[in-house]
Structure formats: C-alpha cells, structure tokens
Structure 1
Amino acid sequence: MSPFEALYEKSCRSPVCWDEVDERNLLGPELVQTTNEAIQKIRDRMQTNQSRQNIYTDVRHKDLKLETSDEVFLKMAQMKGVLKKYVMDSSHVVGFEPLQLNDNLRYEEKPAEILAKEVKTLRRKEITFLKVM
C-alpha cells in the first residue's frame, strides 16, 4: 500500500489524466490525445498566470536614473558571520574640510561624480550599486 492510499484510503490518480492508476479505460491514441489536451490546458493556465505577474511587476517598476547633483541614501547591510569587529586605524580617518558658509548660512555643494554603476539581480528584486567620487 502506498502512503497516499494509507492516508486517504483511495489510490493515487495521475496528474495528467486524473484516472486511477489501476484503471485501463483509455488505451493507445485516446490516451495520447487526452494527455496532450491536459498538457495544453496546463500550459495555457501557466501562460495566463505569467502574463498577469509580468503586468503586475511592470506597473510598479521604476527605472533608476541619477544625475550628478542628485542626492541618494546609501544603506550598508552587514552580512552575518562575514564582517569582523572594527579595529581603529589612523589611516582610515577621512579628512575634514570646514564648510564655507554664505551670509545667509548656506553652503554650496560640490557635485559628486558617478564613476561606476552595477546592478545585482536577486530572485525577486534588483539592487543598484554606485561608485561615487
């Protein structure tokens, strides 16, 4: 007895023909024809679902276009088990230049330059990496 029969108290049906395994009603060309029809129905349903998901994704997808003067938020995520505790080193200190403020207490920003752009594709989303100077 198969586990399916033990659990549901009936024999398992084939997913293509939905006939009992031990039944032999369809033979030869009839079996091939019904199998092909069932496969075609499955393909049509899969195509419908795929197109529905593509439409859903296309509506919500926005292309990322950045210019030199655009402000971006950079988020650094720590990888588990890879990064070690930081050890202070004087060569890591970034030079600090005091801001040159105008009379109305505003400062003029120097535009950064985007040196490289890389897009990593995960299973369900894309992550854009920028190298700025």
Structure 2
Amino acid sequence: MKISQDRQKSYADKRRKPLEFEEGDHVFFRVTPTTCVGRAIKSRKLSPKFIGPYQIIARVGPVAYQIALPPLLSNIHDVFHVSQLRKYIADPSHIIEPDTMELHDNLSFEVPPAKIADRKIKQLKNKKIPLVKVIWNQATGDATWELEDKMKEQYPDLFSSVSFEDETILRG
C-alpha cells in the first residue's frame, strides 16, 4: 500500500507547479460561491469561471495575495488563496468584466420578474390560495409559482396589463 501511495504522490508532484506572483502582477481570480464572488456576479448557465485581470497589491502570506478590486466588488474580501488565482497573460480579448447590479449587504441581489404567464387557485381542505406563474427570465424560461397577493404587493405594475378574469371564465 505504501509503495502505491508513494508512486501516486510522485505522479502528482511532477504535474504540480508552485504558483508565485509578485506585487504589480495581474491575475484572474476564480468565481465560486466559496470565495463569495459567485454570489456577487449575475448567475448564468455559461458564466465565466475566472474574471479579471486585477492587480496584486501585496503578498499577505506564503500562499495568499491581496488584490485591487473595482468598486463593484467592494463587498468582497480582497485577499485570495493562490489556488483561486490564474496568471494573466496580456491579451485584450481575455478581459471579462462582471455585470453591474445592486448588491445587498449579504451579497445577494434581486432579479425583477419579466412577466406573469398564468394564474391558478390551489385548493386546500377549506382554503383557496391564489397563485401566479412568474417568468423571471424569458430567454431561459425560468418560472416559479408565487403567491398572487405577495407579487401584487411587490410588483403592482405587472398586474396592470394582465387580465386573468376572461381566462378563468373560459376555463371554468
């Protein structure tokens, strides 16, 4: 068993190269929920894995670097582990900027609904709950069923152009 482990370790060590950066170097950094950057960037199915380039301000420890972040990402801690960084090779096509959006204090953001697609009434034992189908993103078709009262309170402008009474009479 020990011989097998040593052999695997030697294979891994051959492929591993230590990353070191100098002050003033530019790097990309990884967009993941563990670095809290993934929550600050608008989520899309094919969102970039790395964004940047950003300049290294200082080396904080043997494997941590402080990065100069733009004001858009000011809610994020600016010290990153070397495993979250990739060396930047100068090429203008590599620059990927994060989408602009308003972030809350807990690094969450609000996505406004696009339109209301349908309405139904959920029947419980002795209670009727009105629901509306909200389309959040028309391109991807993301939709959820939400409470009608809550949606009318938060987004009254969505209900001004929608008339479900005619559809309900036709269905009923």
Superposition TM-score, scaled by structure 2 size: 0.25
Structure number with higher helix proportion: 1
Superposition TM-score, scaled by structure 1 size: 0.31
